[in-house]
Copies of this chain bind each other. A is one copy, B any other.
Amino acid sequence: MLPGLMQNRPLAIIDILRFAAVAHNTQEIVSRNVDEPLWRSTYGETMKRVCQAAHGLNEYGLKAGDRISTLAWNTHRHFELFYAGPGLGLVVHTANPRLPDEHLVYTINHAGSRILLMDRNMVPIYERIRDRLETIEDVILLTDSARTNEGYKGFEDVIAGKPAQYDWPGFPEDAGAFLCYTSGTTGDPKGVLYSHRSVVLHALAAGLSGALGFSAFDVVMPGQSLYHATAWGLPFAGPINGVKFVFPCDRFDGASLQELISSEGVTFTGGVPTVWTMYLQYLRETGESPGPLERIIIGGSAVPRDMAVAFAKLGVNVQQIWGMTETSPLGVVSTPTPALAAEGEDFMNEEIWTRQGRMLFGIEMKIVDEEGVEQAHDGEQDGSLLVRGPWVLSRYYKAETEATDTDGWFDTGDVSTIDRFGFMRITDRKKDVIKSGGEWISSIDLENIAAGCPGVRVAAVAGIYHPKWEERPIMLIETHDGTELSAGDIEAFLKSRIASWWMPDRIIFEPVPLTATGKIDKKVIRDRYRDVLSG
């Protein structure tokens, strides 16, 4: 080959904000914060604060490649750390405060973070786990000095008086930038280490019309947490397209979201279905209108068709997305095409509402049968969904082997079809994970714990549709012959061993159905109890 003669400048996350600060200098960033008045700033001012934060962080003796953990909500300071950290060559581990303490501690220790930056209302969590954190040397509260808890240092004190310029260091574009943990189907959480390259490429592709379709006239309120796969990349796709940002902190209830939507002119938001179910209910109860809101992207679980229809009636487009922490996370987004439009509006809506979405440039997909044979794109044949591309992981953090096959394909664990329109539909999901309000409950963990209860022979857990939480676990118990157990006995046993919200909504005593190969047949359980939590 003949090498090209273009500039091989590394892709760098900080360049996204540097661009926005020059080309969209006065575009606004608005943020709620814990116990603080509404924050109102611009890209120009934010760039200066990010430079100050870099100077401030430098005083902690951090070096490139070091990890820092955040335990924070959707706020402007968290957003600033998304640039200051990677700008310095640090890796930002976005710790998930919804994890059980044990998993939270595991992720921070596994990341080996030296600094923990957290919102003020995370202090109780921190004080509960601090003795188990093995590598944290310093803690910074994401507050101003007036509101910093006794004995803690506030972020505004760290950056105060620092220069508003920074001479950002250069490093290769495959340098790590974000460490996001996924609670897998079993065992410890696994870390996915995004690089500058993967984040920038994902951000470019995410802004296109076939994905999020951002323009500088969009006002984007991330309704998905910044600690969930970097809020699906919005903090990077947004500034590239010059959007106004509105950060809701931790207030995802209908009234709080509606207040920001109407006062700040939010046109675009997103999140898990639970949040938007609550919002719809709020609109119904108050009779208010979604006003400026044009689009909601929903992922994390399949979008209930009724929700899409209800929003459509209010003039809001609901677009499903599918992705995983391992895919940065955008895999597919449900956006229209002329080929669908040619089939008529009803057909197009059905496709858009019932498929996870259509393919994006940058994520190769194939579905294969058990022998690895590729299946046709006919919308009928399903198979294991494999993905490949520059924002798909290659290996989990500290793992000793690749997470992909030798051709680079990553097995998503989902089973899906792909149709002739390029739309992918999940037909059977990772059977052992339950998505409750956007958080994952591992059914295998629950089964293993319940199996430890004296008298239990087999415990089987399945996720069942729930009108508010999307899914909740139910548990089937087969007892050893002659053993008498009640649901109360099982609950009492589980209570001290699991997070309270992992408790099954139903505990049912009956023989556990098995597949031909002797595995628990979750599909049969789900079919049998499909409606048990809907009433």
Taking Cβ atoms with an 8 Å cutoff, the residues of A that contact B are 1-9, 11, 15-16, 19, 22-27, 64-65, 67, 89, 91, 171-172, 174-177, 192-198, 201, 204-205, 207-210, 213-217, 240-242, 244, 328, 335-339, 341, 358-362, 364, 377, 388-397, 404, 408, 420, 422
Contact = CB atoms under 8 A, between A and B. Distances in A.
Contacts of A201: 204
Given A5-B176, A6-B193, A209-B209, 8 more contacts: A2-B175, A5-B192, A22-B359, A22-B422, A24-B422, A25-B420, A209-B214, A213-B215
A240 B211 CA distance: 11
19 contacts: A1-B65, A2-B67, A2-B175, A4-B177, A5-B396, A6-B174, A6-B391, A6-B394, A7-B389, A7-B404, A16-B361, A23-B359, A23-B361, A23-B422, A24-B422, A209-B209, A209-B215, A210-B241, A216-B336
Contacts of A25: 339, 420, 422
Contacts of A24: 337, 339, 422
A213 B217 CA distance: 13
Contacts of A193: 2, 4-6
A63 B137 CA distance: 56
B397 A5 contact: yes
A23 B358 contact: yes
Given A25-B422, A175-B1, A215-B210, A198 B6 contact: yes
A208 B241 contact: yes
A196 B198 CA distance: 17
A171 to B, nearest CB: 5
Contact of A205 (B8, B176, B204, B341): B204
A393 B8 contact: no
A320 to B, nearest CB: 16
Nearest to A191: B5
Nearest to A201: B204
Contacts of A205: 204
Contacts of A393: 5-7
Contacts of A420: 25-26
Nearest to A91: B2
A406 to B, nearest CB: 13
A22 B392 CA distance: 19
Given A9-B388, A215-B209, A4 B204 contact: no
Chain B CB count within 10 A is highest, among A3, A65, A194, for: A3
A205 B203 CA distance: 10
A2 B209 contact: no
A6 B339 contact: no
Contacts of A3: 172, 174-176, 195
A241 B207 CA distance: 11
